[in-house]
Amino acid sequence: MPPTRAVVLLSGGLDSSTCLAIAKSKGREAYALTVDYGQRHKREIEAAKKIAKRLGVKAHKILKFNLTQIGGSALTDKRITVPEKRSMEEIGRGIPSTYVPARNTILLGLALGYAETVDADEVYIAANALDVSGYPDCRPEFYTAFREVARLGTKRGVEGRPIHIHTPVIHMTKADIVRLGARLGVPFELTWSCYHGRGKACGVCDSCQLRLKGFREAGLEDPLPYASRNV
């Protein structure tokens, strides 16, 4: 029997790289999909390329689609500030300015389209509900709803072969993800999580802080160079 094909949304960050490693560990033939949507951290795209190569994928599609045409987020509109040096309480409260309007709906739509084109059975997305829980499209109930959309809105669904949407890290803490990633051989040194795309990770944006906290709690050293590690 041929291996099950899976489209894996790969941003180049810690979570999506671990997600790719999970799909690979299950024996999936992986089709990585990276969407270059004009996010501030273009460096993630370069990271994604290296990670896809290292972990071994059947294909890596990099879709160019500039969401700065829509804007509405600190990641897609330069006039909106990326929050820095927030406490974990502040990070956990409300929806941050880094929320990209309908981002995961758009990304999942693209992943579904790509999955139908390469006849893949599954889509993996590294949504995480525990940390940065403010993003509405990272909650489990959103994925329950999207599974219906995937079943009803595609040719494969009509044919009785719906594309399954997997969210393997959704209930994990960042420390859980770091531990699992380490076990599966994720090349952490190649991943990029910082909301900025500078030479070193800033260490003070929400994403850096959550990542550093995850490594700290997992008792592992983050191999990335940081401009600051003390917040």
Residue numbers at the binding site for its own copies (CB under 8 A): 61, 63-67, 69-72, 95, 99-106, 108-110, 112-117, 136-137, 139, 141-142, 145-146, 148-155, 157-158
**Cα separations (Å) of 36 from 43, 62, 99, 139, 209?**
10, 7, 16, 23, 24
Smallest gap from Cβ 218 to its own copies, in A, equals 30
Cβ-based nearer residue to its own copies, 105 or 173? 105
Give the DSSP letter of residue 60.
Answer: E
Smallest gap from Cβ 39 to its own copies, in A, equals 14
Smallest gap from Cβ 202 to its own copies, in A, equals 25
**Cα separations (Å) of 166 from 143, 182, 205?**
9, 21, 28
Cβ-based nearer residue to its own copies, 37 or 188? 37
Give the DSSP letter of residue 153.
Answer: S
Cβ-based nearer residue to its own copies, 154 or 173? 154
Smallest gap from Cβ 82 to its own copies, in A, equals 17
Cβ-based nearer residue to its own copies, 66 or 87? 66
Cβ-based nearer residue to its own copies, 107 or 178? 107
* DSSP class per residue in 174-212: HHHHHHHHHHTT--GGG----SS-SSSB-S-BHHHHHHH
Q: With beta carbons less than 8 A apart as the criterion, state whether 13 and 41 touch.
A: no
Smallest gap from Cβ 11 to its own copies, in A, equals 17
